[in-house]
Amino acid sequence: MKPMLYLGSVDFPSQMAAIEKEPPSAPTPPAPLTSDLLGEPVGLELTNVVRVHRMGEVAVTALRGISLKVAPGEFVAVMGPSGCGKSTLLSLIGGLDRATQGTVLAGGRKLNEMRDRQLADYRLQHVGTIFQSFNLITTMSALDNVALPMTLGGISPAQRRDRSRRLLETVGLKDRVNFRPTRLSGGEQQRVSVARALANRPGLLLADEPTGNLDEEAGQGVLELIKEMHGLGATVVMVTHDPDVAAVADRIVRMRNGNIVEDPGGPSTPTQTEPPKTPVRRLAWLESLRMGALSVTRRKLRTSLSSAGVAIGIAAMAIIVSFASGIQDSLTNAFAITGQLDQVSVGDGTFGPVDPTKHKPLDAASLAKLAALPNVKDAYGNLQIEGTLTGGPTALSNSYLTSFTPLSETPKALAKFLAAGGFPTSDSANEVLISGDTATKLGYTASTAIGHKVTFSGLYPGFFIPGTGQQSAANSLPIDLTIVAVLSNAGNIGSGGAYFMAVPYTTATTYWERMAKANSWTADEFQSITLVADSSGTVDKVAKEVKDLGYQATTSSDFLKGFSQFITILEIGLSGLAAVALIVACLGIANTMYTAVLERTREIGIMKALGARSADVRGMFLSEAGMIGLVGGTVGLLVAALVAVVGNVIVNNIAAGQGIPLDLSVFRLTWWLILGALALATLFSALSGFFPAIRASRLDPVTALRYE
């Protein structure tokens, strides 16, 4: 029993309008009626058509001025020996090839005057082709093969899946929809080819030796399907060697040596006029991306190798950039926590080189003068006295008393740097904060040191430098202090055998004045002076005013700028290496895509025969190349994220071991870095596939279909 060919109603674009299931009656063309299988039948008229193939300097004439008319709805069989021009004739009628001379009319359209884009639209909308070698794409299922013309025509996924299933059911392959061609028999593959030919409701069916590769039973089944399509009104042109196959046609045309040697003539019908132009729906860019992604998944090993190169380049670049960004952010946060972003340091180059010729005294008078500058909210000096500390088993020489920041300017966040205890109760209290090393030397732990008394006896103003002839204080005035806090290792001001302590600001300055008066010290009272700007926006202005007075001034931003420049130079250098890796990966992608073009030449020919434009082929290959980059970029970012997490854990553990209570996330993968890396990987990969995609889009469909 022959399968029934009625599919029911499905909503498709108007340009693929259907006709009714009423067979034509010669000589009058069949009236267009309603059918879900076919469109308006196409009449053909070839006049003095010549086709010359050129291979270098050699010219081969395939058609020698033939003329042929085929009425709409007529079934014509073309017979002749191999090489007589039958397939060339079919290619011209199907819009796959162009006549060297003469005119080819199809449904009133002059095919020889159409641009490639228009010919692709003609093939997609009006022509269904059944090939001798089936020409199914082996990496696609039967369902996807049938749906391919509808995909190229911009039909929605739901509609094309539904119609493809119905068409496969119509040709008797209901249970084979998900089978790939390699799992189908020859007859089943040709039935898939028939279903695909009907996908976009063509008005013209071209069959090139449709039974040539089939056994008698399978061939007869395919031939019955073609007869039924003709019975529903389709124009059919079939090329065959078999007289029994040709006998089912309304008319048999015989060819030899590029000429028509026998043509009984068809029914006399009025010439079809060119139909009005209608907008053509085409492959959507999302579908192009999807098809590129499917191509990638079908070649897993090659995709993995190509993506690996991209992943290495993107991972290296992301790690470098995230490190550069993270370390600068961590440093900036550290300055912000300690309140240094709003400060101007006045002195001999706290963050920069010392210039002795620009030195000016840093004493109480200078402090008052600088504090009076506009935009200065507060000012305080930073002094230091070297002496001896007692209060433990032995006296600690090489001990340094420093002034603690005034409590009004001490950020609460600095409490993180205390291993035990708290801030002084007031700026004038006889209290002291000692380093962890100092507490150990005094015989205490951080917690047991709190509340104990120590005595400091000053000897030298500032740092004592051996060999300079500097004399110790004749009157070393002892000062008794109560330990209120022990600094963590991160809070230590120095190391290397020196013991540091911080005394409340007023207590320290008063002690200095007493020591200076008792010993006639002439050295500067302050090592540096800190000015606190009223806002971060006025810091640079304050620094300029200080410099105008002849003082040296630096800000934390000066240090950050210098550090940032160093990191930037390092980042550029390392990123260059990562870029080289990425470029090498892109060359690999280009090679992969060129190889893919060669391997898929026949597939490209099939797609063009079905109506794919050059832009569609180009878009699919670019999408495939970009998808490889996207996969590689994603993997590279995952590697970079793993390195960032592990790196931050290690750095923070080391910092915690050193008593640094800050979050030192030195690797920071920001959203802009992630998006930028993915865009870069995709763009570079797509560009790598550009020339292979151009080559694929320019392949001649006839030549590509013959490629083995």
The predicted-structure confidence for 347-400, as pLDDT tens digits, reads as follows 875 444 455 666 788 888 889 999 999 989 999 999 999 999 998 777 888 899
Domain-located, residue 274:
no
Q: Are residues 395 and 515 in the same domain?
A: yes
The half-sphere exposure of 555 on its side-chain side, counting CA atoms within 13 A, is 24
Single pTM value for the model = 0.66
Residue 611 is predicted with a pLDDT of: 86
**Residues contacting 367, CB < 8 A, separation 6+:** 379, 380, 381, 526, 529
Q: Are residues 306 and 357 in the same domain?
A: no
Last residue of a domain, one of 515, 533, 560: 560
User: Token digits for 553?
Assistant: 């001034």
Residue 356 is predicted with a pLDDT of: 62
**Number of domains making up the chain:** 3
- Residue 300 CA: distances (Å) to CA of 293, 295, 296, 439: 11, 9, 7, 64
Residue 355 is predicted with a pLDDT of: 58
Nearest to 368 by CA among 379, 384, 359: 379
Residue 659 is predicted with a pLDDT of: 63
| Confidence check: pLDDT of 601 > 80 | yes
User: Token digits for 406?
Assistant: 């005034």
**Higher local confidence (pLDDT), 338 or 304:** 304
**Higher local confidence (pLDDT), 666 or 662:** 666
Range of the domain at 86: 14-44+72-96+115-267
| Confidence check: pLDDT of 293 > 60 | yes
Q: Is residue 682 a contact partner of residue 586, using CB atoms and an 8 Å limit?
A: no
Domain-located, residue 58:
no
Q: What is the mean pLDDT of residues 561-584?
A: 75
Q: CA dihedral defined by 625, 630, 631, 633, rounded to 10 degrees? A: 120
**Higher local confidence (pLDDT), 305 or 514:** 514
Last residue of a domain, one of 510, 527, 560: 560
Q: Are residues 349 and 375 in the same domain?
A: yes
**End-to-end Cα distance, the chain:** 37
Average per-residue pLDDT for the chain:
82
Domain-located, residue 252:
yes
Q: What is the mean pLDDT of residues 276-303?
A: 70
The winner for highest mean pLDDT among 17-31, 124-138, 266-280, 464-478 is 124-138
Nearest to 16 by CA among 173, 127, 182, 144: 127
Domain-located, residue 546:
yes
Q: Are residues 217 and 76 in the same domain?
A: yes
Q: What is the pLDDT of residues 14-72, one digit of tens each?
A: 333 333 333 444 433 443 333 567 778 889 999 999 999 887 788 889 999 999 999 99
| Confidence check: pLDDT of 570 > 50 | yes
Q: State the pLDDT confidence band at 509, using cuts at 50, 70 and 90.
A: very high
CA distance 75 to 236: 5
Residue 383 is predicted with a pLDDT of: 93
Domain-located, residue 50:
no
Q: Are residues 365 and 302 in the same domain?
A: no
Q: Are residues 365 and 329 in the same domain?
A: no
Q: What is the pLDDT of residues 521-548, one digit of tens each?
A: 888 889 899 999 888 788 889 988 988 8
Strand, helix or coil for residue 396: strand
**Higher local confidence (pLDDT), 503 or 437:** 503
Give the count of beta carbons closer than 10 Å to the beta carbon of residue 165: 18
Q: Are residues 606 and 688 in the same domain?
A: yes
User: Token digits for 198?
Assistant: 């009907």
User: Token digits for 687?
Assistant: 């560009």
CA distance 211 to 218: 8
Give the count of beta carbons closer than 10 Å to the beta carbon of residue 548: 10
Nearest to 129 by CA among 203, 184, 173, 193: 193
CA distance 311 to 699: 32
Q: Are residues 136 and 226 in the same domain?
A: yes
Amino acid (one-letter) located at 621: F
Strand, helix or coil for residue 442: coil
| Confidence check: pLDDT of 270 > 70 | no
Q: State the pLDDT confidence band at 89, using cuts at 50, 70 and 90.
A: very high
Backbone angles phi, psi at 72, to 5 degrees: -60, 130
Residue 7 is predicted with a pLDDT of: 39
| Confidence check: pLDDT of 6 > 70 | no
Q: State the pLDDT confidence band at 273, using cuts at 50, 70 and 90.
A: low
Residue 77 host element (H or E): strand 75-79
Residue 428 is predicted with a pLDDT of: 93
